[in-house]
Amino acid sequence: MVKFVLMGAGGNVGGAAADFAVDLVKPEDQLVFASSNLDNVSAEKLAHWRSKGVEVVSASYDDLDSMRKAFEGADAVATISTWLIGDRRRNQIKNALDLAKEMGVKRFCYTSGAGAGVKAETEEDIPFLLRDHHYIEQLSFASGLQYNIQRNCLYAELSVR
């Protein structure tokens, strides 16, 4: 059995990823979908996920204890980047990455942005909206964990419904 945790399942991109994951998961594997605000998830969607055996939990990047509960026994953790820009977003995902490593998670996944992998001598050489993503990617590469980086095109999530 493999345990997968998806953070941000209550959002637009996270909700689409969750719906996709429910169709892909093997019967013997476990899915945990986490959202910082379960009120943002429709009752129909929650019922559908739960009918497929998904554990749905409240967990926030800003609350280490809630993430710790969600990550317990996880083999892989996927994070959906938040709408924030700057230190708070960097710290949110850094905390998730550090906690995943501490708890023995093997694979860390992150939704980044197209262009975040640019080679740059200084942060100022990176387009402003991609700086946080670049920073988090570098942390992921250096973490020692297996990782997946999904570089979405800016605003592509607006077409996901």
Mean pLDDT by runs of 10 across the 161 residues of the chain is 96 93 94 95 96 97 97 97 92 97 98 89 90 95 96 67 58
Question: Model's pTM, two decimal places?
Answer: 0.91
Q: How many separate domains does the chain show? A: 1
The CATH number for 154's domain is 3.40.50.720
Q: What's the pLDDT score for residue 115?
A: 87
Q: Range of 11's domain? A: 3-159
Name the DSSP letter for residue 128. Answer: G
CB–CB of 73/99 below 8 Å? Answer: no
> What is the pLDDT at residue 152?
85
Q: Which residues have CB under 8 Å from 133's CB, separation 6+? A: 81, 112, 113, 116, 151
H or E element in which residue 63 lies: none
pLDDT, position 144: 97
